[in-house]
Amino acid sequence: MCAEKKFDPLENSAYEAVVGLEVHVQLNTSTKMFCRCENRFGAEPNTNVCPVCLGWPGALPYANREAIEQSLRAVLACGCEVGEFSKFDRKNYYYPDLPKGYQISQYDQPLGLGGQVDFFLDGEKAGVQLTRIHLEEDAGKNTHVAGRPVSFVDLNRAGTPLLEIVTEPDISSAAEAGAFLRNLRLIMLYLGVSDCNMEEGSLRCDVNISIRPKGAQHLETRAEIKNLNSFNFIEKALHYEISRQIDLKERGEEVVQETRLYDPERDETRSMRGKEAEHDYRYFPEPDLTPVTFTREQLEDIRSGLPELPVARLQRYTSELGLEDYPAGLLVRDHEAAIFFDACIELYPKARSVANWILNSLKEEANSRKTGISSLGLEPGRFVDLVKAVDAGVVSSQKGRDVLKPMLESDKPVVEIISELGLEQISDDSELREQVEKVLSEHPGPVEDVRAGKKNSVNFLVGQVMKETRGKANPGKVAEMIGEILSA
């Protein structure tokens, strides 16, 4: 990361921060958790609703098998212990976005307990311990319009499946929280259980934070910052909150246990008074749902079907495939690119060439279309044909890029596109030699410089040949030929 040096309130401080996160991940099932309404962001308000998710009397929940399976994938990927028995509980509170007056959640027998998420922080492997992962339903959404004494309620999101991942107070800086979250997001993307689109709220985070004298073991009073939905905001909110708490302590004041809200416009956290007057959720087992049980075999099946996770992937790319850290990291951080890369090297194991072409050219095409690599609809086989053509010198790497665009617009074989565009590299040595000699005779000055040992002039001459051949020459070969001719 090329991050500019940010202000760090903990630098040279007598305090250390203790941070725990509650991460909410919206699962990408087709339907909601307990009813058959569509689970989709962006629909016309209150059109994906039914008697179950509206909390109409007599309507009963019916749990979505896919949501439970997705959750188990996440739980096993995070190394949680999964009991053979898990149940749902009611969490009771009143709020307009919660039409039943309770949220179906999990209390004392969640899907997963414990666990650990590994990631890299400044090149070092780090890990955060998890407390638990449970499955629950999301609430609806309230909006407010300035100047009107009402709030607007949209219940499309009410009842959609939500995974809550709770960490131990194991994190000690904003940077660590950010690295953990980015990696957790990647894990969910590789598992295919969520789109983790933070702008649409499919990944949100509550942060619990306190500070204590460096080296102390006890926990001090914490504040909670709710509903952060961007990595940037999470890191900024943590910085602000750590500074605020240090200031309080240094003035001899106490941190109050409260919920605070981060305001990105002012870059500060504010107390959210008037929220829950009391946290008394009176949990009890949800009588309208059966518990769920799993056999060891079922869990083993899911575990063995899990994809390779980001940290393992990164290690494979660098140590087994010989990629440099930087391109390996770029690939792993874009799960679509990494999955495409793996499909390509199955067909053509030149990892460096393939990585290069994905990261430089294919990603550029995807970015210019504002989409991901998988949406380009390109078959790994056709892409590999292009990389092979460049590696074999059929087309120059410069012109290879011009081949890619038409490849995305038609199903024509790569060789056909290359010949239609007239981009075949000059492979006939005598033809190339003719061009090289012509350029050498036209540029006596640089030729003298090369003879005098000036390397840069070789590049100039190669450039002239490339220009002359409209990019169809192989620059490596041209340089070689220039060397041969001039040293003869």
Residues that bind another protein (CB under 8 A): 24, 29-31, 36-38, 44-51, 54, 56, 62-68, 87, 92-98, 103, 138-144, 148-155, 162, 206, 226-227, 261, 263, 270, 272, 274-275, 277-278, 280, 282, 285, 287, 289-293
Strands 223-228 and 258-263: parallel
Minimum CB distance to another protein smaller for 93 or for 348: 93
Coil vs helix vs strand at 77: helix
Beta-bridge partner residues of 303: none
Minimum CB distance to another protein smaller for 199 or for 278: 278
Minimum CB distance to another protein smaller for 60 or for 392: 60
Nearest approach in angstroms of CB 300 to another protein is: 17
Minimum CB distance to another protein smaller for 176 or for 224: 224
Nearest approach in angstroms of CB 115 to another protein is: 21
Contact between residue 413 and residue 428 where contact means Cβ atoms under 8 Å apart = no
Minimum CB distance to another protein smaller for 247 or for 263: 263
User: How far apart are the C-alpha atoms of 76 and 70, rounded to whole Å?
Assistant: 10
Tokens of 338: 């990494």
For residue 319, the surrounding DSSP H or E stretch is none
Q: DSSP assignment, residue 256? A: P
Tokens of 118: 């590994």
Nearest approach in angstroms of CB 110 to another protein is: 15
Nearest approach in angstroms of CB 198 to another protein is: 14
What's the Cα-to-Cα distance from 155 to each of 41, 61, 92, 288, 463, rounded to whole Å? Answer: 11, 16, 18, 21, 63
For residue 108, the surrounding DSSP H or E stretch is none
User: How far apart are the C-alpha atoms of 303 and 281, rounded to whole Å?
Assistant: 34
Nearest approach in angstroms of CB 195 to another protein is: 16
Tokens of 21: 């996160």
Q: What residue type is 167 in one-letter code? A: T
Q: Which residue is it, tokens 């012109």?
A: 399
User: Any idea how long the chain is?
Assistant: 488
Minimum CB distance to another protein smaller for 30 or for 374: 30
Nearest approach in angstroms of CB 172 to another protein is: 24
Coil vs helix vs strand at 126: strand
Nearest approach in angstroms of CB 37 to another protein is: 5
Contact between residue 254 and residue 221 where contact means Cβ atoms under 8 Å apart = yes
Minimum CB distance to another protein smaller for 87 or for 249: 87
Q: DSSP assignment, residue 395? A: B
Nearest approach in angstroms of CB 196 to another protein is: 17
Minimum CB distance to another protein smaller for 9 or for 99: 99
Contact between residue 328 and residue 342 where contact means Cβ atoms under 8 Å apart = no
